[in-house]
Every structure is written in C-alpha cells, then in structure tokens.
Chains A and B, each alone.
Chain A
Amino acid sequence: MSVLIDVQGLGKTFADTSIRFGPKPKPVRAVDNVSFQVLKGETLAVVGESGCGKSTLGRLLLRLIEPSEGQVRLDGTDLTCLSKPALRQMRARMQMVFQDPFGSLSPRRTVAQIITEPMESFGLVRGRSQRRERVAELLAQVGLPAAYMDRRPRQFSGGQRQRIGIARAISVDPAFIVADEPVSALDVSVQAQIINLLQDLQEQKNFSFLFIAHDLAVVRHIAHRVAVMYLGRIVELGPKEQIYSAPQHPYTEALLSAAPHPDPDRPHARIVLQGDVPSPSNVPSGCAFHGRCPIAQAICAVERPPLVEVAPGQSAACHFARPHPLTGVAA
C-alpha cells in the first residue's frame, strides 16, 4: 500500500496570548516532534488519555490548527506551506467527524443543508434536483431514510446525528478522514452501529482513517495500526495485533491492563499506575513517563528515548523496551 499522509517532526506549542497582568502561564507543548505515516485505505488509531495531544494532532493534520513546526504531506503535497486558496482546494480531500453529535451540527439548518454544504463549497453539485438526489443517496449510505432530509438535527437521537455528520464527511469523497472520538458520546447499544457503519464505508470507499479514541477495545476492533500517545509524544506505534498482544512500552502495557473488561473471570493482573498525567506545560525531563513508570531507571530522567523500531513494523520510545505479554489479554 502506498503512503497517503506523511507526517515529519510535527509539533505544536500553545502560548498564552491574552493580555493581563502578572506572570504569563508557561506555554503548553501539546504535540512534540511526532512523525508517522498513514497508508492508503488504512485505519490508524491514536490512543491516549486526556491531555496527551491526540485531538490537537488530528486537527494539525487537517491544518485546522497551524503547526509550530514540522510537515504534513498529503499525497506528496506539503499542507503546512500551502497558501490559503490552495489549501482550500485540498480540503475536499480531507474531512472530519467530530465527537459531539449535538455540537457539530447547526441547529438552524436542515439535514439536506448540512450535508450539501461541503459539496457546494467545492462546486460539486448544481441545481436543486441534483442536490436532493445526492443527499438521498448519502443518507441511504449511512442508513437513514431519505425522508429525513428536510428535518432539523434536534429531531434526531445521538446515533442518528452522528450518521448525519458522517454523511457530511463522505459527501466530497475524501481520501482522508479524521474521526475524533466518534462513538464516545453514544449509548453502548448504538456504538456498535456506528462502528460497523464506519468500517463498511471504509471498505466501499477505501479512504484512510485517523481514528482518535480513548477506548482501547473500540480501537482494537477498528484499527489496522495503533499509535499510543503520552504527553504530546508517540510512545509506541505498530500493528494492532502486536500492540495488543506484546506491547513494548510500559505505558501501553499499563493502559491495556487498566481497561475494565466485561468478563468477571478474567485474571486480575491490573497494573495501577501511581499519580496523574503531568501537565503538558511542565513536561518532565528525559522520558516524559519516567515519574509514573514501574521500570524507570536513572537514565530515564535524563535522556529522552527516541522512537525506534523494536520489532518488524513496531516502534517504541523506551530505553528498556521489551515485549510485555499481557496475562489475560490474549490477542
């Protein structure tokens, strides 16, 4: 498979630009020197806890936020140095699905207006009849009846709204979709519907997917490869099977073992990390994880471990990376 998205040394520092008295808060290093690739037709999942920079990363890829440094290439074109009009033309190739199905749809517009907006921006539809035909087709693809097109978002449940948001994203036939926690706001019985829908659509249309999530079980189901983030850095990256059966970074291991499991007979081998995630405005020296790491040594506080290949296709940023086969979590 060929590379669709190529990210090199991407970083983002948010500085407080407000005008007020007193000392300014320290800048927040949200994403720190991140490099990876997304292949055509692939789903790369980004997992991590709140504040690890996964949402910022998603927005940086689409240049919804300006990066502080680094490059994002879509099919070889560097998005980070494109002019506004050129970037706008590229936007037809990349779309986003948001977390909150209530906040991401305008309450004043009808479903048809919401779904056609991206197509109209890029001049892809002309005339009322063509527009309505296309909306009906898109609604059918996301499993909603065409009769819904003249209703407004408030008449729909969370799952239905998320379907509308997905119809909007696929309307311009994008090559790349960023989905930021698309199922975490939904009821358990509705999550499976949306996950299946996203998988079916990807099979039909072969777009690439950056799937941002905190739920490891959902990620395991949907992703081809997984990137684990901690305090703005990718600490482990690799094929799903390897990450879930033999994680090499102690943070990945702890994350996997901490996830509650709907099976009361699973042997309890939970690693409970001490302390909280440090603030991204005050990232610890060396390896950012050393303060909470169960296997940290003196070197970890001093030297930042690079992300290096530890197994075919799998890389980890740890001085002491080795496979940690998990008890009770088999592949």
Chain B
Amino acid sequence: MSKPLLEIRNLAVEFGPLKRPLRVVHNVTLAVGVGESVGVVGESGSGKSITALSVLRLVPVPPARISGEIVFAGRDLLKLPLNQMPDIRGKEIGMIFQEPMSSLNPVMTIGDQIEEALLLHENWPATERRRRVIELLKLVGMPDPEGRLRAYPDQFSGGMRQRVVAAIAMACNPKLLIADEPTTALDVTIQAQVLELMLDIRRRFNSAILLISHDLGVVAEICERVVVMYAGHIMEDADTRSLFHNPRHPYTQGLLKSVPTLTETRHRLYQIQGTVPPPGTIRQGCPFRPRCPVAMDRCAVEMPPLLAHGPTHRAACWATAPEVGA
C-alpha cells in the first residue's frame, strides 16, 4: 500500500478519574489508504464511534483523555491547535452520521446548509456556490434539485435527508469520508440507495471511506478492508474477502456464525454466550475471554497483540496464533 492518508497509531481514549480510569479505546492502530474504503465493525460499547469521533477531534477533552497519534495527510491531528480543526472538518474530511434529522438544522433550508460548507471553506462568488449546490444535489440523486433548494429538512424523508447530509459531506471534495452508521436508521430499500450512492461517490471522486457499522452485511458490500472491534480493542484487521471467508479471531468467527443469512438454512443459530461487557469491567487480559470458547490461561493475563496471519490479515488471539516463524 502506498503512504496511507489516515494513520491512527496507538490511540487510547479514557474517561473518569485518573486513579481508576474508564478506558473505552485501547491502543487502536489502523490506516486508511488514499481512495481505500475501510469498515470498522463492532457491537455497542466497542469504541468504534469514539475512534471515528477522535479523528475529527469531536470527543471533548476534558472529560476525555486521548493519547496516541492520528496522522492525516502528514499532520498529527491530535497535536493541531483546536481552532485549526474547522479547516479540516468538512473540507478535507467529510462526515455522515447516523440520524440525518439530528445532523441537519431544522430551521435552515437545505440549500443554505449545503452552501454553508462552501461559504466556510471556499472563497467563491455566490452564483458559483449556487451552481455547485445544485450540482451536489444532482450528484446525490435528489429529484428536482433547483426546486428543493428552499425546502427544510422536515419536508424530506429519512433517505432524502441522508442524501442532503451526504451532499454537505461531499461539498468540498474531501479526501476522506467518515460515515458513522449511515444507514442504520433507514429502511432496507432506502439503505440500498444510500449504499449505492456511497459506492458511486467513491468511484467518481476516489475519496477514502471510513465506515463505522454494526452490520456485517453493509461492511461486506462497501469495504475493501475490515477492522473488527470489541470492548475498545481491535480484534481482527483483514481484507474483506479473507475476513468473511477465513476469520481468525474467535469473536469474528462467532459473530459470522451467529447472524442468520438469506442463503443458508440452519436449524439453530450458533450463539456466543453471555453479553458485551460494560466498559471498564475487564481490566486485564483479553476482553473477549469470558465469552470465548477457546480461551486459555494466558488470555486472562495478557492481551494478545495483533498477530499476522498472512500479509493482509492480523488477529489478536493467542489461541489461533500461527506457529512461530510461520
């Protein structure tokens, strides 16, 4: 891979008192190449959203304490003065969040909201901006873009609102698009439209995508590489085919076996025992150990690092670790 566009190194995020910190993200290291789409999957409390928000410096410090490096296009965003972040958010990194209604301003027309991004980041005359807003609405598949410029968010359905959010995110041709559960609030047929839109954006502008989702199906459709998170740790990091066909971490294996699919008929679903631990309850060893079918003594003491299973596949597990030297 060429030099990555975004490189997160040893990111750790914790809250709470210094003496007894509540660590929600542990040593997360991941990279997104230019034009690459990477999915981060995990259940609630896995730290996937906090990781994405940290990239944008949208996690308030304090109360949070963040350490590590987030290098984007050669700069460490964590070291950047906070007042320079608005130049990056929306311009170099676009954002799409889960609930489109709460990320749009209800008392501002959608035309103005899209134009706002251009007003902040580009020094263009008004006519030029207007032209670009219409172009963006066409790009995201809004019917009758000229006519809908003056409409308010409540006049749109959920899928259409998410298109408006995507238009804002794409306004300045960002190099990276961060999408946090972009289709979770949408119906299946509308989800298909939004996923198609994201693939189209990628094809046309070569934007990199960091997609956060709990849905393995959505990630399989969009991403080239998948990072699996659990309780704040990266458990597995692999190219999509290898992850879905040959998962190496017992958590990923269990997850893939436990979701019903449209193609297989099984009488009983495989079930992972127990529930996701609340953050901070497991302070030592592998957080998946209490639910893991292949846990060993070592797992209680020491969190395994990401061990290589081939050139593009790494998993943090002692039990499935490849032989030394292999």
Partners in one complex: yes
Contact bitstring A133-144, B, C-beta under 8 A = 1, else 0: 000000000000
The B-contacting residues of A in range 304-331, CB under 8 angstroms, are 329-331
Chain A proximity of B214: nearest CB distance (Å): 6
Q: A255-B188, A262-B217 are in contact. List 7 more A-B contacts (CB 8 A).
A: A192-B270, A193-B273, A217-B259, A221-B260, A261-B262, A264-B220, A272-B192
Residue-wise interface mask of B (187-223) relative to A, using a CB-CB cutoff of 8 A (1 in contact, 0 not): 1111111011000000000000000001111111100
Q: Which residue of the partner chain A has the closest CB to B216? A: A262
Residues of chain A within 8 A of B122, CB atoms compared: none
**What are 25 A-B interface contacts by the 8 Å CB criterion?**
A49-B188, A159-B275, A187-B43, A187-B44, A187-B214, A187-B276, A189-B258, A189-B272, A192-B258, A192-B259, A195-B260, A196-B268, A217-B259, A217-B262, A220-B260, A220-B261, A258-B191, A258-B192, A261-B261, A262-B244, A262-B261, A264-B240, A276-B160, A329-B262, A330-B263
> Considering only CB atoms and an 8 Å cut-off, how many residues of chain A contact the other chain?
44
Would B259 and A260 count as touching, CB distance under 8 A? Answer: no
Whether B188 pairs with A214 at a CB distance below 8 angstroms is yes
Give B159-183 as 1s and 0s: 1 = Cβ < 8 Å from A's Cβ atoms: 1100000000000000000000000
**B241 interfacial by beta-carbon distance below 8 Å:** yes
Q: Which of A187, A216, A264 contacts B188, CB < 8 Å?
A: A216
Q: How many residues of B contact A (CB 8 A)?
A: 47
Nearest-neighbor residue (CB-CB) of A49 within chain B: B187
A192-224 interface with B by 8 A CB criterion: 192-193, 195-196, 199, 214, 216-218, 220-222
B35 on the interface (CB 8 Å rule)? no
* Cβ contacts under 8 Å, A157 to chain B: 275-276
Q: Which residue of A lies closest to B260 (CB)?
A: A221
Query: Which residue of the partner chain, among A256, A260, A329, contacts B217 with CB atoms under 8 Å?
Result: A260
B-binding residues in A (CB < 8 A): 49-50, 157-160, 187-193, 195-196, 199, 214, 216-218, 220-222, 244, 254-256, 258-265, 270, 272-273, 275-277, 329-331
CB distance from B210 to the nearest CB of A (A): 18
Tell me the complex Cα distance, A74–B215, Å.
38
Q: Is the pair A192, B43 in contact by a Cβ cutoff of 8 Å?
A: no
Does B266 sit within 8 A of A, measured CB to CB?
yes
Q: Which residues of A contact B143 (CB under 8 A)?
A: 275
Q: Is the CB of A258 within 8 A of B258?
A: no
By a CB distance below 8 angstroms, the chain B residues around A262 are 216-217, 219-220, 244, 256, 259, 261
Tell which of B159, B190, B241 has the most Cβ of chain A within 10 Å. Answer: B190
Q: Out of A158, A193, A214, A265, name the residue touching B187 (CB < 8 Å).
A: A214
Please pick, from A190, A256, A264, the residue contacting B262 in the complex, using a CB distance under 8 A.
A256
Q: Does B271 contact A (CB under 8 A)?
A: yes
Within 8 A of A (CB), among B246-269: 254-256, 258-263, 265-266, 268-269
Q: A263-B244, A264-B244, A265-B241 are in contact. Are A188 and B263 (CB under 8 A)?
A: no
